[in-house]
Each structure stands twice: as structure tokens, then as C-alpha cells.
Amino acid sequence: ISTYRFKAIRKGLEDYELFLQARNRGHESTVREHLQNAVGRDWYQYPQRQPYPEELEEAKIAILTTVYPYAPTCGDSLCENEHTPAPKTDQTTTTCYTPTKPGDLTCDNTVNIHDLTLIGSTYNWTPTHPQWNTKGTHADACTPNQHIDLNDLQCVTNHFGTQY
């Protein structure tokens, strides 16, 4: 996978995760409205023009502040400037991951988009990253080699859809 393609996949997963979380909290119309404002028409249709990066960034900020006004407190919600939910653990270097549930990095008993998004949002991280202890250790639990890489992605994709 080329670097550009991987970045596009990672961005898509993050945006999809944001939309799913908003929809689950009953804010689907809010997300759709902000995206429609960014692209200038119904977001289900191909836009007349590609939105400018600053328009998409403005829409993302509006969505985060509208849907997640409590984001800076973290907990099991979003952390400020993050698109991936904090793993359901004690936020230390220990993880909830067990080898008997391969691929389930978020410990929700299902290998799903949440686990893929965690890998995508932490890809290429090492212990030198400032958020390694909160997110990196969870993403690296499947193949603990102190680096979020294709091995971690492969571990999740090999078990994607599995319910424990």
C-alpha cells in the first residue's frame, strides 16, 4: 500500500468512526448538516467541486464541538483533537487485550471498525509518541513489538467481524 493510499484509508476510517459515534448518540442530522455546509450540497451526491481543506477542517471542528462538547474530559468519549474513542481501560500502560480474543483491541468482544480505527489512527507510532501510554499500547497489543505497523493491521483484519 502506498503512503498516500494508506493516509486516505486512515482518514476515511477516522471520518467514518466520527459519523458512527455521532449517529449512535442521535446526532446524525448535525453531522450531515455540517458536512453539507462544507461541500455545498447534499453529502450523498458527488459535490460540484472538492471542498477546500479549511472547509472540511471547519466542519470537523463544528461537529466535534456540537456532538462532543465534553471531549476534553476524555473518559470513554473522544479526547480533544482525536477521532478514536479512548479504549475502555484505566488509561495506563496496561491493556485489556487478551490473546484468547485476537484482534479485539478495544475489548468490546467484537473485532470491528473501532479496532481498525485504533490501528489507523496510531499507525507508525512508537513508545516515543506522547500518547503511546493511552492509545499506542492498546493498538500494539495484538503483536507487541513497540511499533504500530502492518502486523497489527493484519492481526485485526484477519479476525475482522469475529464476535467473542
Q: Name the grid cell of 11.
A: 482518514
CA dist 25 and 65 (Å) reads 14
- Mean pLDDT, to the nearest integer, of 90-109? 68
Among candidate residues 72, 57, 61, the one with its CA nearest the CA of residue 30: 61
Give the pLDDT score at 112. Answer: 86
Whether 93 shows a pLDDT value over 50: the answer reads no
* Higher per-residue pLDDT: 70 or 13: 13
Window from 52-56, 64-68, 109-113 with minimum mean pLDDT: 64-68
Q: Does domain 87-164 have CATH number 1.20.120.420?
A: no
pLDDT tens column, 2-43:
566 666 666 666 666 666 666 665 555 555 566 666 555 544
- Mean pLDDT, to the nearest integer, of 54-83? 52
Whether 67 shows a pLDDT value over 80: the answer reads no
Confidence of residue 134 (pLDDT cuts 50, 70, 90): confident
* Higher per-residue pLDDT: 55 or 83: 55
CATH 1.10.1330.10, the chain: domain bounds = 87-164
